[in-house]
Structure 1
Amino acid sequence: MIQDQIKEIIERRMTRDGLVESGIAGVKLFRATCALPCVPAVYEPSVIAITSGSKEAVLDGARYVYDAERYMCCPMSMPVTAGTPAASPEDPLFGVYIDLDPREMSALAVEMESAGGALPAAQGGAVQAIRLARWDAGFGTALLRLLQVLDDEADRAVLGPLRLREVYYAILKGEAGGFARQAFGAGNGIARSIAHLSSQVEAQVSVEDLARRAGLSRAVFHRRFKQATRMSPIQFVKAMRLNRAAMSIAGGMSVSEAAMEVGYVSASQFSREFKRSYGQSPRQWSEAQQGLIAGL
């Protein structure tokens, strides 16, 4: 199986649990041999492929479990809880994290459409935030070819970007292709709004301004945003801020710095909202979760 070949490559390069750079920009490898409960995280535009074991993410109550049969495609920044609750020394988790470059994905989608041929149809209605897709032969082969260049510095530098483009191509041709093409399409105002919110999470926002940016009425924007993310725009901003703050605190940042970094002026308001979301004060969270998110 291709998954086994990919697992062998990852296993050779990783001697401990965690997430490491592969040497190709936008491609990381990870390993987990102990169970990690689902904790706050932010999924950036990415594909996560598991070669053994399983991983899960929860977005506003919707649970996504992916493994060596289905990979996860997330074309927009999303505040989730994520973990590896089934990982163990006997059943370790190995996988690959790939950043999705919106410009490259959009350009490649246009090029594919111009070249003709059958492509997966884009979904109707609002694009959704997360999709699981079957590992097909095209995706597995492209991912294996990408990782096969890691051992040679010249191959990584020269062939790495080309092989990464092959993976993008395989995603766009595969089961998640229509979903991804819709998300990265030039006319997707909701995806543009989410990218704007994610890049400026500390800024004050108004639904009216976001709707105007998307070229939609306030009511239509609100409805489509909630269809895509399962949250209202205001709920999304709050979840994104709190998740990023939680990740920063778990990584060693002080509570006050983390609160200020995501736009909170009032420490008491931050503490109230944090405890309401996670059931613990930020300080309790810091003591309980220090370093836990690093492997997510």
Structure 2
Amino acid sequence: MSKDQIRQIIESRMPDDGMSDTGIKGVQLFRATRAVPCVPAVYEPCVIAIVSGGKETVLDGQHYVYDSREYLCCPMSMPVEAGTPTASPENPLYGVYITLDRPLMTELSIAMDTAGERLQAAPGSARGIRLAEWDASFTDALLRLLQLGRSQADLEVLGNARRRELLYAILKGQAGSFARQAFGPGNAIAQSIAHLSARLDESVTIDALAARAGMSRAVFHRKFKQATSMSPIQFVKSMRLNNAAMKIAGGMSVSRAAMTVGYVSASQFSREFKRVYGQPPRQWSDLHRGIPG
């Protein structure tokens, strides 16, 4: 029943397709009523919860197709492809995008450890992304948070506490161990990914990243690939190209998009873009301009 109530809240606040802020930090609602193929996107640390319809995300060739039975947990910045292949006016997609605030997630992870909630090895072999079943704690916490939108006073007084409750429910849920591994204070790979994601326009070397993480180059490379399924160089290239593709789809010129993600040579950018997406960036932009990731 709570999930139906969440859908009703989204329907009442989202008369049109797109994303909408809730007034709660890091929590947005979204709606889609047209099918969109998977296009390049970058997921910052987040949880995406669907209450109607379905969504697809692709990370390094691995497809994650999910609906109202599971939510997607992505605790580190990841270059992905994302789409809404089944959305239609008859089968609308409704959902909630929840940013995983790094300081708060780390604080909660430490508090859980201090309280004796020891971190268990995350089962399975998921890298970068995991799907988790909705449980009662997550559903109730999300509903309680979204219900605050009816009152500005409630948002001001209770918003932070209920957001904290929701993030705690995520850490206690099926993807909790997976998320805690990323937000634990000693996770050098997650910290490296956050560092890289904030500096895509700067030149980076694997040796410098490894030294910053306190590892040898070989160990850093192995641990990075274990966490993300990609080598550090592949990850950086994917993040840069996906960010550029999103900017181009949003209307930015090809040359400016290339420059903002660290490409000095426009010809190199065009070659690498075509190799990944199958078309030169200008031709690609004509087909994808305005399509959301």
TM-score greater than 0.5 by the shorter chain? yes
Distance 1:106 1:31 in 2: 30
Q: Report the equivalent of 1:68.
A: 68
Report if the CA contact (8 A) 2:113-2:119 is conserved: no
**Aligned-pair distance for 1:222?**
0.5
Q: Report the equivalent of 2:169.
A: 170
1:86 matched to 2:92? The reply is no
Q: Report the equivalent of 2:52.
A: 52
Distance 2:211 2:125 in 1: 17
Q: Report the equivalent of 1:145.
A: 144
Report if the CA contact (8 A) 2:39-2:81 is conserved: yes
Distance 2:125 2:109 in 1: 18
Q: Please give the secondary structure, in 1, of the residue aligned with 2:19.
A: strand
**Aligned-pair distance for 1:19?**
1.1
Q: Report the equivalent of 1:7.
A: 7
1:196 matched to 2:195? The reply is yes
Structure 1 letter corresponding to 2:288: Q
Structure 2 letter corresponding to 1:63: H
Q: How does 1:190-229 map to 2 (within 5 A)?
A: 190-229=189-228
Gaps of 5+ in 2: none
Q: Please give the secondary structure, in 2, of the residue aligned with 1:129.
A: coil
Worse overlay, 120-129 or 17-26: 120-129
**Aligned-pair distance for 1:99?**
0.5
Report if the CA contact (8 A) 1:119-1:173 is conserved: no
Distance 1:26 1:74 in 2: 14
Report if the CA contact (8 A) 2:200-2:240 is conserved: yes
Normalising by the residue count of structure 2, what TM-score does the alignment of the two structures yield? 0.97
Structure 2 letter corresponding to 1:43: Y
Structure 2 letter corresponding to 1:13: R
* Residue identity (%): 66
Q: How does 1:215-294 map to 2 (within 5 A)?
A: 215-293=214-292
Q: CA RMSD in A?
A: 1.5
**Aligned-pair distance for 1:249?**
0.5
Report if the CA contact (8 A) 1:73-1:133 is conserved: yes
Report if the CA contact (8 A) 1:202-1:261 is conserved: yes
**Aligned-pair distance for 1:51?**
0.4
Q: How does 1:103-118 map to 2 (within 5 A)?
A: 103-116=103-116, 118=117
Q: Please give the secondary structure, in 2, of the residue aligned with 1:263.
A: coil
Structure 2 letter corresponding to 1:105: M
Structure 2 letter corresponding to 1:62: Q
Report if the CA contact (8 A) 1:41-1:80 is conserved: yes
Label 1:167 to 1:278 Cα distance change in 2 as closer, same or farther (>3 A): same
Distance 2:125 2:81 in 1: 23
Distance 2:127 2:158 in 1: 32
Distance 1:159 1:103 in 2: 19
Normalising by the residue count of structure 1, what TM-score does the alignment of the two structures yield? 0.96
Report if the CA contact (8 A) 2:171-2:180 is conserved: yes
Label 1:222 to 1:252 Cα distance change in 2 as closer, same or farther (>3 A): same
**Aligned-pair distance for 1:23?**
1.1
Q: Please give the secondary structure, in 2, of the residue aligned with 1:97.
A: strand
**Aligned-pair distance for 1:126?**
9.3
Q: Please give the secondary structure, in 2, of the residue aligned with 1:286.
A: helix
Label 1:89 to 1:120 Cα distance change in 2 as closer, same or farther (>3 A): farther
**Aligned-pair distance for 1:128?**
2.8
